[in-house]
Homo-oligomer: A and B are copies of this chain.
Amino acid sequence: MGWKRGWRRKLTFLFMPCVSSCFSAAEEEQQAQSKKGLKKQQKEAEKAAKKAEKQAKVAAEQQSAEEDDFAKDRYGVSALVQSQQKLDRTLVRVQDLTPEKADQLIWLRARVHTSRAKGKQCFLVLRQQQFNVQALVAVGDRASKQMVKFAANITKESIVDVEAMVRKVEQKIESCTQQDVELHVEKIFVISQAEARLPLQLEDAVRPDGEGEEEGRATVNQDTRLDNRVIDLRTTTSQAVFRLQSGVCQLFRDTLTKKGFVEIQTPKIISAASEGGANVFTVSYFKTSAYLAQSPQLYKQMCICADFDKVFCVGPVFRAEDSNTHRHLTEFVGLDIEMAFNYHYHEVIESITDTMVQIFKGLRDNFQTEIQTVNKQFPSEPFKFLEPTLRLEYTEGVAMLREAGVEMGDEDDLSTPNEKLLGRLVKEKYDTDFYVLDKYPLAVRPFYTMPDPHNPKYSNSYDMFMRGEEILSGAQRVHDAQLLTERAQHHQIDLEKIKSYIDSFRYGAPPHAGGGIGLERVCMLYLGLHNVRQTSMFPRDPKRLTP
């Protein structure tokens, strides 16, 4: 593939070199800086401002020198891509840059990850998602002095189109994912120019806690990350986390679809609070009020009454809890399951635990790169699980805790610290990070929970835990309208408000059970992370509504 004369005119049309305008943006910087500006950040800002000044000067010089520049059509800032024309040009992916491509002239679009000028050369690292490659612009018969200067002045995170010769390297480039080749740049055009001052540095954002502290290297605090989420999501760690999350959803659905489940879509705007009146967001709905569903609970049960037999849904659930903890969000993604069973709700527990095991296996087998990428920044032990899944009864759990010195009554709910402690005890004894705790006290569960047939103080309900934290809550549900009415009255729920729900059970309802899984928690705990905001792209909590 050679550089063809015919293209030159086309490129001149498409990529109008307009170097002077390309630095004006740097002078107008208006983006928000995290208010908790550290001294270090200020210094960097001053440095960046100086750099921008220098760039402007360079640009001016460059323009005057342009007429003498033999390479002037080989670089520049492209006009805004507005779909002016269809270019018959193949862009190669960075991850495909291997020695097999050696000595080919290719086109590529990527971000400028870093750049370093050195005499008559400029070394760039070009990045595409989690992949990057070294590129060299050097004065020679393809690049002029001016072109090298131009390249050296392209701001980090800008997007460029590059035409380059792929060359094998003698020594592996350890700092890049593509270690065996580098690119010798013959043309470079800026497609989208980043402002000179970034609100956070990507290399800081992936630095493990504590690393490089002595050299005064910064890490990025969580609020700065979340305030500038679009940049933070570009890091290898974030890319890995959310690609894995996409995988969890897919594994969840594929496993259930194979088991004969049907996907349903349930309404989020509802007329009455589905799980009692507390912790529910109110919506103004034309001339009346409505609520945001705290779970698809009532609707997935109604689908069981409507003969869908086995259903699942993936969607947002809303909790107006004023909890500012590492594991609470006001909006999260629920992976919900509901299923008719024949004679015992353990049939459903087995379906759910098998689904979880299929997810764990799928992640282990297909997302190893992502797991290792996250581990580099946030080290954790590999996630362990048993087959079949360990199931303990609540009373057994309480006994283990008492043995470890915890004082609690038979019917007390588990506190978060006790859940974690129990997780550690279970890990020690059974070597698993995933287990089911079955038969919770009836008193601590919602009104629609089926009481235990043998002991009215307990119930046919269960939680599932990963690394000692709850990721699923579920139960056999009451499928008899009369018993359901009694239980709702016992919980002092206004029957009028759940009338259509209770009525669903009057025309024949099969025994059924189910559960709701928190997607962000599953991802957080599988990866051994410590804050659910790390696994929510745009987290919502009582204090955060943006971006």
Interface residues on A, range: 35 or more
Q: Of B111, B282, B343, which contacts A284 at CB under 8 A?
A: B282
**In the complex, chain B residues whose CB is within 8 Å of the CB of A460:** 82-83
Q: Which residues of chain B are within 8 angstroms of A322 by Cβ–Cβ distance?
A: 286
CB distance from A443 to the nearest CB of B (A): 18
Interchain CB contact under 8 A, B81 and A545: no
Establish whether residues B83 and A509, one from each chain, have CB atoms under 8 Å apart when the complex forms: no
Q: Is A314 an interface residue (CB 8 A)?
A: yes
Flag whether A506 is at the interface (Cβ < 8 A).
yes
Q: Which of A162-214 contact B (CB under 8 A)?
A: 191-195, 198-199
Contacts of A367 in B (CB 8 A): none
Q: Is A398 an interface residue (CB 8 A)?
A: no
Alpha-carbon gap, A263 to B500, bound state (A): 34
* Nearest Cβ on chain B to A331's Cβ, whole angstroms: 5
Contact with B along A341-359 (1 / 0, CB 8 A): 0111110000000000000
Can you list, as one digit per residue, whether each of A281-323 has a CB less than 8 Å from chain B (1) or not (0)?
Answer: 1111110101010000001001101111100001110101010
Interface 1/0 per residue, A499-535 and B, CB below 8 Å: 1110110111111000000010000000000000000
Q: Which of A38-46, A265-273, A372-380 forms part of the interface with chain B?
A: A265-273
Closest CB pairs A-B (n = 9) = A500-B547, A233-B306, A82-B453, A194-B508, A81-B511, A271-B545, A246-B263, A87-B343, A194-B507
- Residues facing B in A402-422 (CB within 8 A) are none
CA A482 to CA B24, docked complex, whole Å: 12
- Determine the chain B residues whose CB is within 8 A of the CB of A86 once the complex forms: 343-344, 346
Q: Does A219 contact B (CB under 8 A)?
A: no
Closest to A243 in B: B262
Picked from B242, B257, B299, B451, the residue with its CB within 8 Å of the CB of A308 is B242
- Alpha-carbon gap, A454 to B87, bound state (A): 16
**Which residue of B has the minimal Cβ distance to A454?**
B84
With both beta carbons as reference points, the residue of chain B lying nearest to A535 in the complex is identified as: B265
**Interface residue stretch chosen among A145-153, A426-434, A536-544:** A536-544
Contacts of A249 in B (CB 8 A): 263
A479 interface residue (CB < 8 Å to B): yes
Does A336 have its Cβ within 8 Å of any Cβ on chain B? no
Query: Is there contact, CB below 8 Å, between A129 and B159?
Result: no
Are B269 and A111 touching (Cβ within 8 A)? Answer: no
Tell me which residues across on chain B come within 8 A of A299, comparing CB atoms: 537-538
Instruction: Tell me, rounded to whole Å, the shortest Cβ–Cβ distance linking A9 to chain B.
Output: 16
Is A369's CB within 8 Å of the partner chain B?
Answer: no
A72 at the interface (CB under 8 A from B): no
Check if A292 sits within 8 Å of B286, measured CB to CB. no
In the bound complex, residues from chain B placing their C-beta under 8 Å from that of A245 are 265
Q: Tell whether A234 is near chain B: CB-to-CB under 8 Å.
A: yes
Name the residue among A157, A509, A547 with the largest chain B CB count within 10 angstroms: A547
A318 to chain B, nearest CB (A): 7
Q: Are B250 and A546 in contact (CB under 8 A)?
A: no
With an 8 A cutoff between CB atoms, is A31 at the interface?
Answer: yes
Q: Are B262 and A242 in contact (CB under 8 A)?
A: yes
Docked CA distance A169–B140 (Å):
90
Q: Say yes or no: is A253 at the interface (Cβ < 8 Å to chain B).
A: yes
- Residue from B129, B231, B264 in contact with A537 in the complex, judged by beta carbons closer than 8 Å: B264
Is the beta-carbon distance between A540 and B267 smaller than 8 angstroms? Answer: yes
- Assess A192 versus B479: contact at CB under 8 Å? Given A32-B503, A510-B109: yes
Interface pair B346/A80, CB less than 8 Å apart: no
Within 8 Å of chain B (Cβ to Cβ): is A480?
yes
Closest to A233 in B: B306
